[in-house]
Amino acid sequence: MSRVLFYTKKDCPLCDKAQELLDGLSSEYDFTLEKVDITLNEELFLRYRHAVPVIVVGDDLTIEAPITEERLRWALNRASGHQPQVTGKMRDFVIALDRLIFHFVKHWLLVFNLLLGLYVGLPALAPVLMASGAEGAGRLIYTIYKPMCHQLPWRSFFLFGEQPYYDRDYLVSQVGQEPLADIRVARNFLGTPELGYKMAFCERDMAIYGGMLLAGMLFGLLRKGLKPLPWAVLVLFMIPMAVDGGGQLVGLWESTPLSRVLSGGLFGAGAIWLAYPYFELGMRDIQEELRRKFGWT
pLDDT tens-place string over residues 88-139: 788 788 889 999 999 999 999 999 999 999 999 999 999 999 999 999 999 9
pLDDT tens-place string over residues 23-50: 999 888 888 899 999 999 888 888 888 8
The model's confidence at residue 189, banded by pLDDT at 50, 70 and 90, is very high
Nearest one of 60, 72, 71 to 286, comparing CA atoms = 60
Break the chain into its structural domains and give their ranges.
2-84, 109-203, 209-283
The model's confidence at residue 80, banded by pLDDT at 50, 70 and 90, is confident
pLDDT at 122: 98
Dihedral angle over CA of 278, 284, 290, 292, nearest 10:
-130
The model's confidence at residue 277, banded by pLDDT at 50, 70 and 90, is very high
14 CB-side CA count, 13 A? 17
Residues found in the chain? 297
CA distance 254 to 257: 10
CA distance 149 to 16: 45
Give the three-class secondary structure for 132.
coil
Q: Is residue 76 classed exposed, middle or buried when 0-12, 13-18 and 19+ CB atoms within 10 A define those classes?
A: buried
Residue 104 host element (H or E): helix 88-106
Cα–Cα distances in angstroms (integers) from residue 215 to residues 30, 56, 207, in the given order: 48, 33, 12
Question: Which architecture does CATH list for 2-84?
Answer: 3-Layer(aba) Sandwich (3.40)
Quick one: average pLDDT of 70-86?
75
The model's confidence at residue 86, banded by pLDDT at 50, 70 and 90, is low
Residue 251 has pLDDT above 70, yes or no: yes
End-to-end CA, the chain: 30
The pTM of this model reads 0.70
Residue 168 has pLDDT above 70, yes or no: yes
Higher pLDDT, 95 or 191: 191
Which residues have a Cβ under 8 Å from the Cβ of 142 and sit 6 or more positions away? 126, 151, 190, 200
CA distance 40 to 18: 20
Residue 1 has pLDDT above 90, yes or no: no
pLDDT at 78: 82
Question: Each residue of 39-61: b (16+ CB within 10 Å) or e?
Answer: eeeeebeebbeeebbbbbbbeeb
Ramachandran region, residue 189 (left: φ > 0; alpha: ψ -120 to 50; beta: rest): beta
